[in-house]
Amino acid sequence: MNIMKLAILILLGIGTVVLANGGGYRRGGVEAMGDVAGFEPENTEKVRIVDELLRFECHESFADVEVRYLMKNLTGRAVTVRFGFPVEESYDAGTDPGGSPAMKRPEGREDLLYCENYRIEAAGRAVKARWEPEPKPKRNPDVHEDWDVTRFDNIKGWLVSEVKFAGDEEKPVRISFRSRLPRTETGVSDDGHVEAVVFPYRLSTAAVWGGTIARGRIELVPVDIDPADLRVIKPVNRFRREGAKWVWEFQNLEPTLDDDLSIEVQPEEYSYGRSLGDWDDPTSHVSYRSRAGKWSMSHANYEVRASSTLADDGDISYSPAKVREWEGAWSEGVEGNGAGEWLELTPNVPKPLKAIEIVPGYDKSDDLFAANARPKRVEVLLNGEHRFEAEIEDAKGAQSIRVRGYDKPVKTVRLTFKEVHPGSRFDDLCVSGVRLEVALERKPEITPQR
């Protein structure tokens, strides 16, 4: 592909979020940003991608990304390729007064929320990745910016690596990382709105490598999300369903902007917090949720017991009933970090479960959250017969554990905490809340907020 054609592709892609296929953008020579020159790949046109397997494992709050290449030196002589993986700046919350930041803006290499734990290997050996920030030129608002400057907007920087190829060598290259998924939330009183969570990935930047992509396969795999929530926005008419995952296979692909991926991991959601009884009774609080035209309700209408409980501290109780109230926290009462302890819930009205919402740790403050142990891996046992495990992210706030493959009315839910995140000051394992989410057959009657 010639440089002019590639430049046209980049021009058309201005404003698109960039999570790239490796290689970086060509600038057509040295482009100065004040006293600093922007990143420029070297010798990528001399190497072809002969096989690519790109896999996204989609979770509620992150995606684990792995791409495996087989690359071939086209020149017949030794060559060193210098290429960069572009890292997107984090999303901002916008200007809505009720908006909450989707994620903090990274300030350095150690906090790249789009490429956490970035790792690159060539022929099974680790390759160094050097962080290069994308220089930002000073802008004159009275002057129309041309594409040569604005096409690098939204790129925070590059993870730059070098790989050596012998003459005609075919070499496997692997890149893996975890990408945080931004959530934009707004709310008024107990009503909330979450925008659809969309994960973008730029396949078009593979155009800087030599020739076409000879063979390729892309897999979108739902892990702890409902497979029905995973939707391909673009490219259109490329993917097919293969069980719960989406798959796109291709040959001799010359990637363009039409091949860039936009994946909806979570649909738009509306929630409505209400009380089914006395508003002062936290156990009567419910949350109605609308997602993709389907309604559900989360509730705390259950009895609860625990394997152990920490003794009261004056007026402060650590009773398992605290997880129904979402005030304070339950804490186990055995020696050690609480691994192996459990909570058991008995719903007063058994129904099939869509999900289990859990608030890990002592959620009252950032300090208490960090000070005490939090669940990391939990085993869920439904009705004593359906067992599965789930990972709990080490973050404040409610998290959903999806229930799949079990449609019976649930009479008992046992949560056994197999592994924990250690506390900075205390060994006590804490949980601040648990709710059960059940499907509704029809839209509920929701009274307006006062």
| Domain range list for the chain | 3-266, 269-440
Distance CA 46, CA 74 (A): 6
The rounded distance, in Å, linking the Cα atoms of 373 and 420 is 6
- Residue 405 main-chain phi, psi, to 5 deg: 75, 20
Query: Residue 116's pLDDT band (boundaries 50, 70, 90)?
Result: confident
Neighbours of 236 (CB within 10 A): 8
pLDDT reading at 176 higher than 60: yes
- Asked whether the domain spanning 269-440 has the same topology as the one spanning 3-266, the reply is no
Tokens of 378: 């939990």
Q: Which fold has domain 269-440?
A: Jelly Rolls (2.60.120)
Beta strands in 45-78 (DSSP E): 47-58, 62-73
Q: Does domain 3-266 have CATH number 3.90.79.10?
A: no
Q: pLDDT tens for residues 31-72? A: 444 444 577 889 999 999 999 999 999 988 889 999 999 999
Q: Minimal CA–CA distance to 262: which of 227, 218, 228, 293?
A: 218
Beta strand pairing call for 130-133 and 62-73:
unpaired
Our CA angle for 273, 400, 186, nearest 5°, is: 45
CB 257 within 8 A of CB 13: yes
Which residues 6+ apart lie within 8 Å of 33 measured at CB? 135, 136, 137
**How many percent of the chain have pLDDT more than 90?**
58
Mean pLDDT (whole number) for 286-310: 94
Q: Are 20 and 38 in contact (CB under 8 A)?
A: no
At 21, the pLDDT band (50, 70, 90 cuts) reads low
Whole-structure pTM value: 0.74
Amino acid at 14: I
- Report pLDDT digits (tens) over 145-174: 554 455 566 678 888 999 999 999 999 999
* 8 Cβ contact partners less than 8 Å away, ≥ 6 residues apart: none
